[in-house]
Amino acid sequence: MLNARLGAASIVILLLVPAAAQKPNEGQFRNVELCNGAAAPDMRIMACSAFIEANQGGPSSLAIAYNNRGVAYAEKADYDHAAADFESAIAVDPAFVKAVNNLGAARLRKGDYDAAIEDFDRAVDLAPTYARAFANRAEARLKKGDPTRAERDYAEAVRLDPDLEGAWSGLCWIRASSTEARDAMEACDRAIGTGAHTSATYDSRALANLRAGRFAAAIADYDSALRIDPKLAAALYGRGLAKARRGDIAAGDADVAAAKALRTDIAEEFARYGVH
């Protein structure tokens, strides 16, 4: 359930501009447009590569082109090539904080959590108010089983950027699963209020409601989670417990059985949250 609750680490694309000292031809303008844009990843990779190989931009433009090509590779889940491009961007501009963050995000997706945390540490050192780096470091720490420091990083991320939905969602999950349920509700409500309308966020808030004994609210949130992901075992199991505790034993047992058919260890997971 942990992996389902964590959003993709934030990878940032930047705007590339042709060097002012050059007079770009039509092809170069087109490469700039595509390298900057929302075209399919393969097209952006081709355009960024052409811009890099033409060597007609200054160092800043070159670093941005490497970064943007890395973003396109990351969207294809090709994290090896993405990391290599982010490293190239940093080699051109060691203070390029967004490329440092993106390198950490690529390493996080590869499961190299220690290296990712080192990258996010560096990003935070370069830009102490960069909320996304704190949120990404929190995700890496959570994946490493360090919820205490992850919670601190998520809290700092939302202090710096109160609209950062992924950080609110992370706080919602940590607090719903490991602390008093009442401490989770603000984070969960803020996550959903800022746009984190995901099955994981509704499931997290449902868990907080379940632990607090708000069974009708828990069922409503589990229903929302299951509309998004009908096979989310945690939501089925939690809804089953909530229904049973409201006296609807048959419906509750049916949900619990469906959840166990999807995941045989789901009861043990809820036991770790103190919910039986």
Tell me the per-residue pLDDT of 252-270, one tens digit each, with 9 for 90 and over. Answer: 999 999 999 999 999 999 9
Per DSSP, the three-state class of 65 is helix
CB 9 within 8 A of CB 105: yes
Most confident of 9-13, 24-28, 197-201: 197-201
In CATH terms, 1-128 corresponds, of 3.40.50.10610, 1.25.40.10, 3.40.50.720, 1.10.3720.10, to: 1.25.40.10
Q: With a cut of 60, say whether residue 245 has pLDDT above it.
A: yes
Burial class, 132, CB count within 10 angstroms (exposed 0-12 / middle 13-18 / buried 19+): buried
Tabulate helix, strand, coil % of the chain (nearest 5): 75, 0, 25
Residue 131 to residues 15, 52, 175, 198, 207, Cα–Cα distance (Å): 20, 30, 20, 21, 27
Rounded mean pLDDT of 189-217?
A: 94
Q: With a cut of 80, say whether residue 16 has pLDDT above it.
A: no
> Distance (Å, rounded) from C-alpha 87 to C-alpha 140?
19
CB 262 within 8 A of CB 233: yes
Rounded mean pLDDT of 15-34?
A: 58
Residue 263 one-letter amino acid:
R
> Distance (Å, rounded) from C-alpha 148 to C-alpha 85?
32
Q: How many CB atoms lie within 10 A of CB 128?
A: 11
Q: HSE-up of 27 (CA within 13 Å, CB side)?
A: 8
Residue 33 to residues 21, 100, 246, Cα–Cα distance (Å): 18, 24, 58
Quote the pTM value: 0.85
* pLDDT of 109: 96
Q: pLDDT band for position 32 (50/70/90)?
A: confident
CB 141 within 8 A of CB 149: yes
Rounded mean pLDDT of 43-67?
A: 90
